[in-house]
């Protein structure tokens, strides 16, 4: 799917900034941070334009936020094929990469009466398959 097709699917207007942000995240192999997106974005957008576009994409769940800790906050594209399944994320201590583990679903927790769950988050930390292989030589 092309960035403009994703925007169309969400009934969002095409803007070069929105398309650019989606393209950068698509091209990234792992989840990437807001700063990394800004650095790789082609064209000059002022802070406000960038921030607004970014928020719009997040509100429409085109991109999702992955909070590892205070220092590491990354973003990934929602795989629309998997229909917004809540999935776990993996943080690698060695290469600092964050990945979506779409095959690892998170069960909705059973909450006491009166509590409403709006989102669940799971970040698994360890060593990724790439680092494990290159480390065992
Ligand atoms: Zn790694
Ligand atoms: Zn994810």
The CA-CA-CA angle for residues 44, 98, 1, to 5°, reads 60
DSSP helix/strand/coil, 88: strand
Average pLDDT in the chain: 89
Q: Confirm or reject CATH 1.10.10.10 for domain 3-135, answering yes or no.
A: yes
Note the pLDDT of residue 81. 44
**What pLDDT, on a 0 to 100 scale, did the predictor assign at position 79?**
66
pLDDT of residue 82: 43
Least distant ligand from the CA of 106: 2
Helix, strand or coil, per DSSP, at residue 117: coil
* Percent of the chain clearing pLDDT 70 (strictly above): 93
Burial of 78 (0-12, 13-18, 19+ CB in 10 A): buried
Span 59-116, pLDDT tens digits: 998 999 999 998 899 999 986 544 456 889 999 999 999 999 988 888 888 999 999 9
User: Of residues 83 and 119, which shows the higher confidence score?
Assistant: 119
Ligand number nearest to the C-alpha of 92: 1
Query: Domain map of the chain by residue range?
Result: 3-135
What is the Å distance from ligand 2's center to 125 Cα? Answer: 14
Shortest CA distance to 26 belongs to which of 104, 71, 80, 67? 80
């Amino acid at each position: 799917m092309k960035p403009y097709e994703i925007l169309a699917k969400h009934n969002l207007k095409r803007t070069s900034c929105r398309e650019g942000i989606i393209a950068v995240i698509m091209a990234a192999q792992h989840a990437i941070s807001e700063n990394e997106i800004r650095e790789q974005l082609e064209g000059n957008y002022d802070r406000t334009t960038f921030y607004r576009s970014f928020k719009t994409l997040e509100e429409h769940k085109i991109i999702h936020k992955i909070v590892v800790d205070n220092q590491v906050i990354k973003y990934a594209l929602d795989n629309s094929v998997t229909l917004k399944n809540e999935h776990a994320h993996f943080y690698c201590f060695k290469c600092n990469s964050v990945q979506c583990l779409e095959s690892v679903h998170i069960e909705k927790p059973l909450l006491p009466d009166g509590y409403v769950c709006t989102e669940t988050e799971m970040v698994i930390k360890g060593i990724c398959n790439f680092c494990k292989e290159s480390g065992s030589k």
